[in-house]
Chains A and B, each alone.
Chain A
Amino acid sequence: MTRTRLISLLGSYGVVVALLLLVLFGWARYDYFLGFFNITSVLRYNSMFALVALGMCFVIMTGGIDLSVGSTAALGSVVAALASPYGVWIGLGAGVGAGLCVGLVNAILVTRLRIMPFVATLAMMLAASGTALLLADNQSVSVSYDSGFTSIGQDNFLGFPIPAWIAMLAYLIGWIVLNFTGTGRGVLAVGGNEDATRLMGLPADRIKFLVYLGSGGLAGLAGVILASQFGAGQPIEGVGWELFAIAAVVVGGTLLTGGVGSVGATLAGVLLLGILFNVLNFENGKGWISLSAYWQSVIRGLFLLVVVMLQAKLAARSRTVAGEH
């Protein structure tokens, strides 16, 4: 029985095990890996990705996809930068609002006009990116340093980076919504069998509407942090973020077909990919090998494949073990 439990736990939390192993490896090999500076900078940088991945996780759990998150974050950063002279909250609100607008359009396209999520969000990816470039006049938009806007991305609270606090809070809320609200369970039900969910009398369209809206809002929030952290709205940032987010979600064991997923494992997936990047940088720093950015990409890709394959094996294993009892 204990073996069964262990295997089924590994099946669901394989990504956490991989994450722990990677951290152990880094700790053993590099002097400053678990140093305060490294930890906070990894968290500060990856919190943007974490927010985007959280939204993506919910969308994917309904069986959809949101390809527009990267350009939405870029748009959010530009809008936030433009609004930053009017104060922290206005900058924040403007960035998130821009993200919500993109999310709203996605939601309408998918739930009202019944356009495939892949196509709808692909279109919005282009549209949001274009809008960001138009607003920014094709260059990065410097934020106001007087209004305190930069503190969102750069300051600490209780010794911890503010972006990390924001991400943590978002994941906590996400976890509660998924596990303890009807809408959250509805997300998984829609992804598992949309027809059945409708016949069960659940508001399938409203649920889908909300996840796209949420994904847009979170991407906008990531954009605010981006602008604040780097002191400028970046219309050309965010390229490939959607793929990073999808990768993190998939590594976390969420099925691309929908119906199965976990908020915690998604966070672990983000950290796994982020820390892997960090480890590769440390390895370069040791001076024994010098991996170009291109090689780093190759290695991250391979690593991703290995983790996903292990995860699938463990999940299959835990199913057969459970089936025998």
Chain B
Amino acid sequence: MNTGTLLSMTGIDKRFAGISALSGASFEVGRGEVHALIGQNGAGKSTLIKVLTGYHRRDAGEVTFDGRPFEVFSPHQAQASGISTIYQEINLVPYRSITENICLGREARRFGFLDWKRMHQEAETLLQRFNVRIDVRRPLMEFNTATQQMVAIARAIGFSAKLVIMDEPTSSLDEREVSVLFDVIRQLKQEGVSVIFVSHKLDELYEVCDRVTIMRDGRTIKSARMIEIDKIGLVSSMLGRTIDRAEGHATAFSERDRRKIGDVLLSAENLAINQAVQDVSFDVRQGEIAGFAGLLGAGRTETARLVFGIDRPRAGTMQLDGQKFAPRGPAEAIAAGMGFCTEDRKSEGIVPEMSVAENMMLALMPKLSKSGIIDEKAQREIVERFIKQLGVKCSGPDQKVRELSGGNQQKVLLGRWLAMNPRLLILDEPTRGIDVGAKGEIQSLIKSLADEGLAVLMISSELEEVTEGADRVFVLREGLSVATFDRSEATEDAVMSAMAHGSPPTIAEALS
């Protein structure tokens, strides 16, 4: 491995509307090195990357890349210089074909015109490196998130890059796909390509990264080799305080008083809609956190959508308070006392241009308005109460939601549903994309809500969140309910093996 320096950024300053996002940040990446860049939301990671790729102009500082001073004004120039980026939110064009999404911007040409045949071949070859075999002529939107992520990575790598930046590339991948991705990263490394790896999942960093740089409040706090720093060290540097969390607890869910759990509120039997949900049964009791565990594509979100009336089941029944429950739309589910925080905050949850207050009041609007006129005063009171109760960090109820961090946006969404005074709250990946500190806050918030008697249906891909947070864990696998664990049985091993292998053989199967 060549140990020379590929990229060095020093004294980088960047201000937005007078507010400092980066101040004197520095960053150094060696050739053929996989370098982790971590920090809480708002620490300046994304801004630093966007400065590097020319999306933002820096206000001050020096950048050298490949031995030369580096000055780019657009992602296009950065790409041409050998820096490719995979952004956190998959940034591709859904209507266009896989080939176009991979090849746009560096099309194969023949006599000055696009050479479709060669472009299709190139796309196929690139994807085969990830063991993805698909019809590259089909539009991107026909494929699932993981495939789309692979396409984004294929695109970045296809640019014969010297440096590939991956901003949380694993957030939408399942374990198998993550390991494929890591293989690709190692392969890139062998070819002398450097990788900047941004992730909130600490285990992953130890698996693939050589070095780590930790950012906080727009500054570079620490840079070290991965083997020289342990997880507690990473987290405490990120948070800027020493945390002495109890050993063995990775989440902020603490032991709950289970005596408060009441009667069954909602039960579902043999729900089915299509391949995604084939036979799912579960129930949630008052004051209980029911966890849905499963790999990506296990049918967890799809089941939640059935419960909330967004889709209608083809088979199966639901009961709410012992009565038949078959919502014909979200409005009926909301009227029955349900709330649903979706996984995709950006496109299904918040309205970015609206204020914190407006976002919180959206679902409550019909209740708060008398003959069409909104009761401003009542609204104000509720909003201020929730901002305080949930600890939303904002300048006030009128700040635009788009300006808040991911964790605070999530709190606003929680507030939206809590304002309805629900009996059952469905949370789909409540802490995804949220930094460590805010994650803990959200988790303890969920716990205290359940303590107050709210039934919670929580979908999470983070194992410890389900095993430590849920009172019962329902494991889904390929659209089927495969196992249910009580709190005491829900060890990570047990849940993981159910996710991976399904249930132990039933008596009938054992006899046959």
Spell out A's residues near B (CB within 8 Å): 176, 179-182, 185-186, 188-189, 192-193, 195-203, 255, 259-260, 322-323
B93 close to A196 (CB less than 8 A) = yes
Q: Mark B49-78, 1 if CB is under 8 A from A, else 0.
A: 000000100000000000000000011111
Closest to B110 in A: A180
Known: A181-B113, A185-B100, A198-B75. A259 touches B91 (CB 8 A): no
User: Which of B55, B76, B77, B95 meets A192, CB within 8 Å?
Assistant: B95
Closest to A189 in B: B93
Report Cα–Cα, A114/B105, bound state, in Å: 23
Supplied contacts A192-B93, A201-B105, A259-B95, 9 more A-B pairs, CB within 8 Å = A179-B114, A182-B105, A185-B107, A193-B91, A195-B91, A199-B55, A199-B75, A201-B79, A203-B76
Nearest-neighbour CB distance to chain B for A25, whole angstroms, equals: 33
Q: Mark B149-181, 1 if CB is under 8 A from A, else 0.
A: 000000100000000000000000000000000
Interface members, chain B 196-218 (any A CB < 8 Å): none
Report Cα–Cα, A88/B59, bound state, in Å: 55
Q: Say yes or no for B85: interface residue by CB 8 A criterion.
A: yes
19 contacts between A and B (CB under 8 A): A176-B113, A180-B113, A182-B104, A182-B105, A186-B104, A188-B96, A189-B93, A192-B96, A193-B93, A197-B93, A198-B55, A199-B91, A200-B104, A200-B155, A201-B77, A202-B104, A255-B95, A322-B142, A323-B142
Q: Say yes or no for B351: interface residue by CB 8 A criterion.
A: no
The 6 closest A-B pairs by CB, nearest first: A201-B76, A192-B93, A196-B91, A180-B113, A259-B95, A201-B79
- Which interface residue of B78, B95, B107, B155 has the most chain A CB atoms within 10 A? B95
- Which interface residue of B77, B78, B79 has the most chain A CB atoms within 10 A? B79
Report Cα–Cα, A182/B155, bound state, in Å: 16
A189 close to B96 (CB less than 8 A) = yes
Closest to A195 in B: B91
Closest to B103 in A: A185
Report Cα–Cα, A169/B155, bound state, in Å: 35
Q: Mark B79-104, 1 if CB is under 8 A from A, else 0.
A: 11000010100011111100010001
Closest to A194 in B: B93
User: Which of A182, A200, A201 meets B107, CB within 8 Å?
Assistant: A182
User: Which of A182, A189, A199 meets B87, CB within 8 Å?
Assistant: A199
Report Cα–Cα, A180/B353, bound state, in Å: 38
A181 close to B114 (CB less than 8 A) = yes
Closest to B84 in A: A201
For B95, the chain A residues whose CB sits under 8 A away are 188, 192, 255, 259-260
Nearest-neighbour CB distance to chain A for B126, whole angstroms, equals: 15
For A195, the chain B residues whose CB sits under 8 A away are 91
Known: A182-B104, A260-B95. A201 touches B78 (CB 8 A): yes
- The number of chain B residues touching the other chain, given as a range, is 20 to 34
User: A-side binding surface: helix, strand, loop or mixed?
Assistant: helix
For A199, the chain B residues whose CB sits under 8 A away are 55, 75, 85, 87, 91
For A200, the chain B residues whose CB sits under 8 A away are 75, 91-92, 104-105, 155
Report Cα–Cα, A182/B114, bound state, in Å: 7
Report Cα–Cα, A199/B86, bound state, in Å: 9
Closest to A260 in B: B95
For B142, the chain A residues whose CB sits under 8 A away are 322-323
A259 close to B93 (CB less than 8 A) = yes
Report Cα–Cα, A176/B114, bound state, in Å: 10
- Which interface residue of A197, A203, A260 has the most chain B CB atoms within 10 A? A197
For B114, the chain A residues whose CB sits under 8 A away are 179-182, 185
For A201, the chain B residues whose CB sits under 8 A away are 74-80, 105
Closest to A202 in B: B105
- Which interface residue of B79, B87, B104 has the most chain A CB atoms within 10 A? B104
Report Cα–Cα, A195/B79, bound state, in Å: 16
Report Cα–Cα, A260/B79, bound state, in Å: 26
Report Cα–Cα, A259/B94, bound state, in Å: 9
For A181, the chain B residues whose CB sits under 8 A away are 113-114
For B78, the chain A residues whose CB sits under 8 A away are 201
For A182, the chain B residues whose CB sits under 8 A away are 104-105, 107, 114
Report Cα–Cα, A48/B93, bound state, in Å: 33
Report Cα–Cα, A31/B347, bound state, in Å: 56
Nearest-neighbour CB distance to chain A for B373, whole angstroms, equals: 30
Nearest-neighbour CB distance to chain B for A18, whole angstroms, equals: 23
B105 close to A192 (CB less than 8 A) = no
For A193, the chain B residues whose CB sits under 8 A away are 91-94
For B79, the chain A residues whose CB sits under 8 A away are 201
A196 close to B92 (CB less than 8 A) = yes
Report Cα–Cα, A57/B95, bound state, in Å: 17
Interface members, chain B 106-151 (any A CB < 8 Å): 107, 113-114, 116, 138, 142
For A196, the chain B residues whose CB sits under 8 A away are 91-93
Closest to A176 in B: B113
For A322, the chain B residues whose CB sits under 8 A away are 138, 142
Closest to B90 in A: A196
Report Cα–Cα, A264/B142, bound state, in Å: 24
B96 close to A202 (CB less than 8 A) = no
B55 close to A189 (CB less than 8 A) = no
For A192, the chain B residues whose CB sits under 8 A away are 93-96
Report Cα–Cα, A195/B80, bound state, in Å: 19
For B113, the chain A residues whose CB sits under 8 A away are 176, 180-181
Nearest-neighbour CB distance to chain B for A66, whole angstroms, equals: 21
Report Cα–Cα, A180/B92, bound state, in Å: 20
Nearest-neighbour CB distance to chain B for A50, whole angstroms, equals: 23
Nearest-neighbour CB distance to chain A for B242, whole angstroms, equals: 38
For A186, the chain B residues whose CB sits under 8 A away are 104
For B76, the chain A residues whose CB sits under 8 A away are 201-203
A188 close to B93 (CB less than 8 A) = yes
Nearest-neighbour CB distance to chain B for A173, whole angstroms, equals: 12
Closest to A205 in B: B74
